[in-house]
Amino acid sequence: MPSALSEAWQGLPADAQDAIWFVVLLLPALVTGLIVTRGYRPFGLVRAMMWRYRWTNALFIALIAISVGIGVGLIAQERGLRKGTARAAEKFDLVVAAPGSEVQMLMAAVYLQPVDVPLIDGPTYATIENHENVSLAAPIAYGDSYEASPVIGTTQQFVTHLAGELKQGRMFAGLEEAVAGARVPLSVGDTFTPAHGVGDAAEHDAHEGYGITVVGKMDLTGSPWDKALLVPVEGVWAVHGLASGHAPERAGQIGPPFDADYFPGTPAVLVRAEQLWANYALRSEFTTEKTMAFFPGAVLAGLHSMLGDIRQVMSVMAVLTQVLVTAGVLAGLVVLTRLYARRLALLRALGAPDRFVFSVVWSYAAALIGAGALAGIGVGFAAVGAISRVVTARTDILVTATLGWPEFHLVAGFVSLTVLLALTPAFMALSRNIITDLRA
C-alpha cells in the first residue's frame, strides 16, 4: 500500500504536489478554526473589535506583513539569482583557458569580471581551432573598457552565437568597428575611445586618438554581455601594438582562421561542438599542462550548491524572524485582550459561554494573523520586484524573481503555527476574573 501511494504521489504533476503540500501546511489552522468556532458565530463581534481599534490593529497587521514579505522576498530572490546566473551561462558550452582557477575564469569569461591570467598562445589556439570536432573556437580578449562597459575582442561567429541576429545595424567588419550590447548607452553611429583597464584603475589616455564606431546593436541576452562592447579581436591586439593574428600577406583580415605564428594570445576561448558527447571528449582532450578546459554550467552548479546552503540559512533566518515577530504579536494580543477585558467580562456576566468568548478572542487573533499574512504576500511581490531591479543593475544579470510555491509553503506554515499559538491569549482571556474586569 505505501508503495502504491508513493507511485501515485510521484505520478502527480509538480504543481499538484505543491498545491497539496500547501493545503497540508495550512490544514492545522483550518482544523483549529473549525473546532474553536464550532456552534458559534463570533465573526460579527470580531468585525466590531477590528473596527473599534482599527489603527492599532492596522499596526499589528503591518508588522506581520513586513516580516512575512521580507522573509519570502529574500528566499525568492535567491532562486531568481540562481536562474539568472544559469541563463547567462547557457551559451558557454566549454571554455578553455590557461591552468588556474575555474571559478576565476568563469567570472572572467562568462560574467566579464576581468582578472590577470596567462594567455593561450598561437600553437595551442591552433590545436583547438583545427580540431575536427570543434565547430566554434572564439577567442575572448578583455582588458579595455569604455565608461562602465567592458570592451571585448572576439569574432563575428561568437557575436552570432551569443545573441543571434542583431537588433540594429550590422556586424563589425573592420578594426575600428564595434557591436554594442543592448544596455550599452551608445547608439549605432556613435564613436568612442577605449580606456586601458577597467574601473578606477583604467588609463583613459592610453589609447588616445583610437576611435571605434558602433555599427550594430545586439538584442537583450539577460547577461553581463548586454553592457559589453564587442570588437574584432584583431582590433584589441592592434590598439596594444601587437600582431594582428594573421600573416602579413593577409593583413586586414577579420576573424578566423588565425595564423599561429602571429597570434598574440588570448585569456580564454569559447569552444563549441555540434554533438553533446564531443564536448565531453574535448574537455578531456584540452585539459593538459598548458590548458584548462571546463564546463561553466558545471562550475556554476557547484557554486549553486553552496548557495543552496546559504538558502537554508536564509530560510532558517526567515523562520526565526517570523517566530520573533509572532512572539511580539502574541504579546501584543495579550495587551489587546486587556483593552476588551471589560466587554468580554460583560459577555461572560450576561451568560455567554466560555467557549463563545474563547472563539471570539481566538478569531480576532486569527483575523489579524491572516490579514497580515495576505498583506505579506503583497509586500513580498513588491520586495522581489524592487530587489530584482537593484540586483540586475548591480550585476548586469537579468534577474526576474517572483514568489513561487516554496514561499507560499512558508507562509502557510507560518499561519498555522501562529494561529495555534494564538490559543494562548484566548485561554488567558478566560482566566481573568470577571468581577475585577467589570469594576475596571
For the stretch 402-414, pLDDT in tens is 888 888 888 888 8
Q: Which cell is 20 given?
A: 497539496
**What is the distance between the alpha carbons of residues 352 and 78, in angstroms, rounded to a whole number?**
51
HSE-up (13 A, CA, CB side) for residue 282? 29
pLDDT band at 391 (very low <50, low <70, confident <90, very high): confident
Q: How far is CA 334 from CA 23, 341, 438, in A?
A: 29, 10, 18
Given a contact cutoff of 8 angstroms between Cβ atoms, the answer to whether 239 and 202 are in contact is no
What residue has cell string 509553503? 409
| DSSP state for residue 147 in the 8-state scheme | T
Q: Residue 436 pLDDT more than 70?
A: no
**What is the distance between the alpha carbons of residues 214 and 170, in angstroms, rounded to a whole number?**
9
**What is the distance between the alpha carbons of residues 206 and 381, in angstroms, rounded to a whole number?**
47
Q: Residue 268 pLDDT more than 90?
A: yes
Q: What are 285-307's pLDDT values in tens digits?
A: 999 988 999 999 889 888 877 66
For residues 212-222, give the mean pLDDT: 93
pLDDT band at 153 (very low <50, low <70, confident <90, very high): very high
* Paired sense of beta strands 229-232 and 149-154, if any: parallel
pLDDT band at 208 (very low <50, low <70, confident <90, very high): confident
Given a contact cutoff of 8 angstroms between Cβ atoms, the answer to whether 172 and 165 are in contact is no
Q: Residue 438: CB partners within 8 Å, gap ≥ 6? A: 342, 345, 346, 349
Q: Residue 392 pLDDT more than 50?
A: yes
* Best-predicted range by mean pLDDT (51-55, 256-260, 309-313, 387-391): 256-260
pLDDT band at 354 (very low <50, low <70, confident <90, very high): low
Q: Residue 378 pLDDT more than 80?
A: yes
Average pLDDT of the chain, as a whole number: 84
Helix, strand, coil share (%) of the chain residues, nearest 5: 60, 10, 30
What pLDDT is stored for residue 22 in this prediction? 87
Q: Residue 432 pLDDT more than 80?
A: no
Given a contact cutoff of 8 angstroms between Cβ atoms, the answer to whether 136 and 306 are in contact is no
Q: Residue 162: CB partners within 8 Å, gap ≥ 6? A: 91, 218, 221, 225
Q: Residue 177: CB partners within 8 Å, gap ≥ 6? A: 212, 213, 214, 215, 231, 232, 235
Q: Residue 206 pLDDT more than 80?
A: no
Give which of 164, 135, 163, 95 is closest to 274, Cα–Cα.
135
Lowest model confidence (mean pLDDT) among 130-134, 146-150, 196-200, 212-216: 196-200
What pLDDT is stored for residue 1 in this prediction? 44
